[in-house]
Structure 1
Amino acid sequence: MAKHRIDTMAFSGVYPHYITKAEKKGRSKEEVDQIIFWLTGYDENALERILSEKTNFETFFDEAPQLNPNVSKITGVICGHRIENIEDPLMKKVRYLDKLIDELAKGKSMDKILRK
């Protein structure tokens, strides 16, 4: 199967856009990081390493300590695609993260975003 462009894209290239999107709506970098930690199981030190090493999305998700068991609760449409119907496992994980960042930018509470 052909790789998507996002597979080989450096996470560090997209991460600042997540922060910018959140900050434009009055949210913080810390909240973006909290979402990433919740979704992937990474911590602050691991995230710094990923950013400095320019780790691509495929490796970012492949090496994630543990995808949160509540990811199945992340539903809806992102970029015109219903998350539940995305078949490519990596693309689904990328869209989970996109959806959570969108919810942050839309003003949802962290408890709702983190499916508590």
Structure 2
Amino acid sequence: MVGKRIREIRKAQGLSQSALAEKCGFTFSYIGGVERAEKNFSLLNLDKIAEGLGVGVHQFFTYSYQYEQLPVSEKVIREIVSMLVRHDEQTIEMARSLKTFQQVSHVDQIGMAYVFFYNWPDPKR
């Protein structure tokens, strides 16, 4: 369960196992082993992984089967929120400005936000 959430969060942020491992001071094979539940991990290492992903440790324990049953629009919203974690204040302000498109349908707003974040340069790259 924890490894699966780590993988979900890592992928939502567009990080490779190698990139996350480098941020945490681990090897990519260790991260892969944790994600596949093949490696044991300490709470200290779990905290390092959370820090590398820019999330709280509690995020690894919020998985629920209901997430797999979300409509596509909700999945996209969760991805967008995960992307916001790695962007600077200017990018976040620009994302807030997307809400000014209230005359556009909800689905179109989600699509525009999705395109915005996938085309906006990541300041941490």
Query: Is this a same-fold pair by TM over 0.5?
Result: no
Q: Greater share of helix residues, 1 or 2?
A: 2
Q: Which has the higher contact order (CA 8 A, sep 6+)?
A: 1
Larger radius of gyration: 2
Return the TM-score normalized by structure 1: 0.36
